[in-house]
Chain A
């Protein structure tokens, strides 16, 4: 051929976050692609592009073995002989065939052991206890990665779960986490695990409060006693008392803060250091020093015979208090998922052998007929077999108005039957239901870490040992150049540095905000697949919209009815009378409108369809015609009086259909694939947010122009084949835009995958759209600005948290080391450091919780236009 091979996005990967990872992937794929130059790794989109013709399944296997779980993204035409490949159009493919084509790569069962591709189902999820900070996250991820067979490990501090992909033995994973100093158990039933976790958190909260009360009680008691009745200085008279109090303090420290010491020891054994290390060293140093003072006061200068038992006890008390508050606030952040979980019905009324019986929802099988009465929740997904009703789907889609459903319509688990009694047939049960998938998606996304969070983790992994060095350096400086009593100052400075520098705020900053942000987006009907999408969505400056089904309804509808004599009902009645004999999509649109306007259809006989002209029939002995202008004019029926209306219809990208009875033209009906009622407003919101909006469509220029003008779109590309949409996306990305592509998840899959953020517009039941990073469950474009606004708010929140955590540490450590002493004579007390440390975590969690109150500029509750739509 002589030309450079065309690269196509072939794999979706995970876990590749740096150029080193990209290089590894390129090298691994070199034998297959022919050259590393022909392997393009997109770290942002987590995709790999390969030359056409490369064995994608083999490539997925190789990349997975390299340590980055990979799945093949197939494309239209990927299968030889597929109609799409032949005709270069997707319209010829049945959606089922397309679903097959876009099915993610799944290894054949027999080859599974050799070519394990860790899909979600293969990952082992562990509930982890004892993890408190960013360093713990690192230790746990490291421990999991060291287990043979693990290809990817990820710890989520926000909900204390760790996920390990690969084919490792679950027990080996548990052992690895335990030997790193943490508790772990496999989560087999996520639903039961949620309930269990809630119970455990409640119990843990109480335990922490009791521990806090004991240690703070002792600390405060010692302080009051020391200041009021005696002195914190050891003298011959009180030496024995202090020794006894020291032993008591040690007992309280072990009882209320024992987990810090065991955690620190286990981490130390693995050459790790974490928050426990700092607390254990800080409180241990203070206690040990005090015990030396109390036991052999004569070994130290008189001024240095000060004890700090109260500091050790109070630090542990304050940190326990901080952890209790944090636990409470963390519970609130996962409310979005809990709300979804609460949507599940517990029982279903199944009709078996003609008998209705209530059975637990877990026992419902596919094909069961289920009765749902008004006011009841639907237990599983299915298709209505008898009856009609209105279903409130707001809990799933954010769509506020109940939707009318009748026989043959799909219904989803978790939605509410508001009106009539229906019988429906179960089509998806258990973990297959849309609700179960939504819960799974939201949980997964809440646990994922955007790039910004990975940076924080990297920093904190070297943070704790560095703080230990700083503590030793500041101790030496105080000893050598500090004022007397130098030993006391040295001990205080080192302890305070160790205590204040805990990186818990740093570890919580990102996951907390992601958790709330993803939950908030789900509330608005936007399902975010990964934390990265949440971060990138905020940077979008160009939104490319597919036309059909995205901006428009996706099917023709009557947009205008104009009768010469003003009697629009009669016009519709005659048109519908004619069209009831036709099966043309335009006829369906007219009949739908007649039904909607409750027009009684006239009885037209002698129906005849005239190709390229229109339709005609007989009504009361006269000929009734409905068709295009050219035909009517050729029949000697001038339509000049309707010129303005016809022009308006054309400008709106519609088709004007003129109706004549006998020799009299009665009016014109405009039929078009109408713009969704709220598309214009959604596009305006994007503009308000400073985002450029572009449309790509396969339509001819005139139609595209009309739609673009009406919807307020800045730019458009007409006559673009579905498979070329991805190239438009790449072109715009090449121009420097951060591009969001919005389309339906099947036809537009390559374009969605090529964009920085792909938005798939689906319906409530259409949640398993693999190619998009964000799925909009509501059919409305408002989901795009909603998701962008939530993303911006979340990223801002993460920045605030990280900024706060960094500022706290970078100011706190020098102050604790005594930097203010030479100027103002201030040396921070270790107790104050403990309080500040606890406060920093609580502040971060509280700030993330603030996001829960966030409202987009257009809340579903205000969308009155949807009422009209239905």
Chain B
């Protein structure tokens, strides 16, 4: 059970990182901004 919880938390954490920094609306818009800038 503990192993499952730890692994599930880890996977959820990774998904959250990807979503927050790359996929969310703000993340997308800042990425766009950056593309525009560079």
Interface residues of chain A, those whose CB is within 8 Å of chain B, are 15, 17-18, 20, 67, 138, 141-142, 145-146, 153, 268, 270-273, 454, 457-458, 461, 465, 468-469, 472-473, 475-476, 479-480
Question: Which chain A residues border B36 with CB–CB below 8 Å?
Answer: 67, 145
B interface size (C-beta, 8 A): 22
Question: Which chain A residues border B11 with CB–CB below 8 Å?
Answer: 476
Question: Which chain A residues border B10 with CB–CB below 8 Å?
Answer: 472-473, 475-476, 479
Question: Which chain B residues border A15 with CB–CB below 8 Å?
Answer: 37
A498 CB to closest chain B CB, in angstroms? 12
Question: Which chain B residues border A20 with CB–CB below 8 Å?
Answer: 35
A-B contact pairs, 25 of them (CB 8 A): A18-B38, A67-B36, A141-B34, A141-B37, A142-B30, A142-B37, A145-B37, A153-B37, A268-B20, A270-B26, A270-B30, A271-B24, A272-B21, A454-B38, A457-B38, A458-B38, A465-B18, A465-B21, A468-B17, A472-B10, A472-B13, A473-B10, A476-B7, A476-B11, A480-B3
* Inter-chain contact A271/B21, CB cutoff 8 Å: yes
B interface SS class: helix
B6 CB to closest chain A CB, in angstroms? 5
* Inter-chain contact A142/B38, CB cutoff 8 Å: no
* Inter-chain contact A469/B17, CB cutoff 8 Å: yes
B23 CB to closest chain A CB, in angstroms? 10
Return the contact of B6 from the options A138, A268, A476 (Cβ within 8 A).
A476
Question: Which chain A residues border B13 with CB–CB below 8 Å?
Answer: 472
Determine the distance from Cα of A17 to Cα of B38 in the docked complex, in whole angstroms: 6
B20 CB to closest chain A CB, in angstroms? 6
Question: Which chain A residues border B33 with CB–CB below 8 Å?
Answer: 142, 145-146
Given A142-B37, A458-B38, A472-B17, 9 more pairs with CB closer than 8 A = A138-B34, A141-B37, A268-B20, A271-B21, A454-B38, A457-B38, A465-B18, A479-B7, A480-B7
Question: Which chain B residues border A18 with CB–CB below 8 Å?
Answer: 38
* Inter-chain contact A461/B34, CB cutoff 8 Å: yes
* Inter-chain contact B14/A271, CB cutoff 8 Å: no
CB nearest to B20 among chain A residues: A271
In the A-B complex, the 7 residue pairs with the smallest Cβ-Cβ separation, listed nearest first, are A465-B21, A476-B10, A271-B27, A271-B26, A142-B33, A468-B17, A472-B13
Determine the distance from Cα of A17 to Cα of B21 in the docked complex, in whole angstroms: 24
Interface centre among A15, A153, A458, A468 (most CB of B within 10 A): A468
Question: Which chain B residues border A145 with CB–CB below 8 Å?
Answer: 33, 36-37
Return the contact of A142 from the options B3, B17, B34 (Cβ within 8 A).
B34
* Inter-chain contact A271/B17, CB cutoff 8 Å: no
Interface centre among A15, A142, A475 (most CB of B within 10 A): A142
* Inter-chain contact A479/B14, CB cutoff 8 Å: no
Return the contact of A465 from the options B17, B35, B37 (Cβ within 8 A).
B17
Determine the distance from Cα of A780 to Cα of B24 in the docked complex, in whole angstroms: 58
Question: Which chain A residues border B21 with CB–CB below 8 Å?
Answer: 271-273, 465
Question: Which chain A residues border B27 with CB–CB below 8 Å?
Answer: 271
Determine the distance from Cα of A17 to Cα of B37 in the docked complex, in whole angstroms: 9
CB nearest to A146 among chain B residues: B33
Question: Which chain B residues border A138 with CB–CB below 8 Å?
Answer: 34
A456 CB to closest chain B CB, in angstroms? 12
Determine the distance from Cα of A141 to Cα of B34 in the docked complex, in whole angstroms: 8
* Inter-chain contact B26/A465, CB cutoff 8 Å: no
CB nearest to B27 among chain A residues: A271
A480 CB to closest chain B CB, in angstroms? 7
CB nearest to A479 among chain B residues: B6
* Inter-chain contact B14/A472, CB cutoff 8 Å: yes
Question: Which chain A residues border B22 with CB–CB below 8 Å?
Answer: 465
Question: Which chain B residues border A153 with CB–CB below 8 Å?
Answer: 37
Question: Which chain B residues border A142 with CB–CB below 8 Å?
Answer: 30, 33-34, 37
Determine the distance from Cα of A135 to Cα of B7 in the docked complex, in whole angstroms: 29
CB nearest to B28 among chain A residues: A271
Question: Which chain B residues border A472 with CB–CB below 8 Å?
Answer: 10, 13-14, 17
* Inter-chain contact B38/A473, CB cutoff 8 Å: no
